[in-house]
Amino acid sequence: MAIELPPLPYDAKALEPHISANTLSFHHGKHHAAYVNNYNNLTKDTPYASKSLEEVVKEVAGDAAKVGIFNNGAQVWNHSFFWNCLKHDGGGKPSGALAAKIDADIGGFDKFVEEFKTAATTQFGSGWAWLVLDGGKLKVTKTANADTPLAHGQTALFTVDVWEHAYYLDYQNRRPDFVAAVLQHLANWEFAAQNLAKAK
C-alpha cells in the first residue's frame, strides 16, 4: 500500500516569521512530497509495499543495494517527525519529566542548547540534529543526509532539519540563526515529552 504525504500539523503561516509559509510550501509540498513519491515508486510491487515505513527503513538500513529506498523512506519519516517538533509560540524550556531527564543526562537545558547548536552547525553539508534516547539516556546527535535514529536503535525525541532547503529562503547561509530561532520560538517540547513518555 502506498504511503501518503501527511498534512502539516498547522497552517503554513503558523511558524512565521521564523519559518515562512514560502519555505514550508516548498519544504513540505515539494521536498517532502518528492520523497513520498520516490519511496512509493521504489517499493511498488515489492514486499516492502506491504510493510510499515518504520519497518522498511530499519530493514534496508546499511544495505548498499537498497540505498534509494532507505534515503527516500528515511527522509519521509524524518520530515513527518520534524513537522511535529515545531509549533506556533513554541520554544523556551521544556518542563516536567523531559526537563528532569535533560538535567540528569546532559547536565541542564543550557548545556543541551549548546550541544544541540554545535551538532546542528557542525553537520557538514546536509543532515539533521537530534535529541535521542539511546540505551535509556538522552543524547544529542547529528546524522548526515537521510540518516535517522531509527537506523541506530535510538528513539528520536526532537530534531531540526539542517539541509539548506530547510532555511535558505529565510536565512540564506545563516544556519546558526535558523537553529537558534527554532529553539527559541518554535520547539514543540510537549511533542518531545510525549516521545520520551512513550519510550519508557
CA 23, 30, 83, 35 torsion-angle sign: negative
Least distance in angstroms from the C-beta of 160 to Mn ion = 10
Q: Which long-range contacts (CB under 8 A, 24 or more apart) does 100-105 make?
A: 101/138, 101/196, 102/138, 105/137, 105/138, 105/139
Cβ 189 to Mn ion shortest distance, Å: 21
Please say which residue, 71 or 102, places its beta carbon nearer to Mn ion. Answer: 71
Cell reading at 123: 553537520
The residue (of 18 and 101) whose beta carbon lies closer to Mn ion is 18
Which is nearer to Mn ion, 70 or 163 (by Cβ)? 163
Smallest CA-to-CA distance from 182 within 83, 102, 95, 101 is with: 83
Least distance (Å) between residue 28 CB and Mn ion? 9
Q: How far is the CB of 82 from Mn ion (least distance, A)?
A: 7
SS3 188: coil
**Interface with Mn ion, residue 163, by CB under 5 A:** yes
User: Which region among 91-99, 128-136, 153-161, 172-180 touches Mn ion (by CB under 5 A)?
Assistant: 153-161
Tell me the CA distances in angstroms from 175 to 52, 113, 162, one per residue in order: 33, 15, 7
**Stretch of residues binding Mn ion (CB under 5 A), selected from 17-25, 37-45, 92-100, 155-163:** 155-163
Place of cell 534509494: 68
Select from 48, 86, 161, 195 the one that contacts Mn ion (CB under 5 A).
Answer: 161
**Binding positions for Mn ion, rule: CB under 5 A:** 161, 163, 166
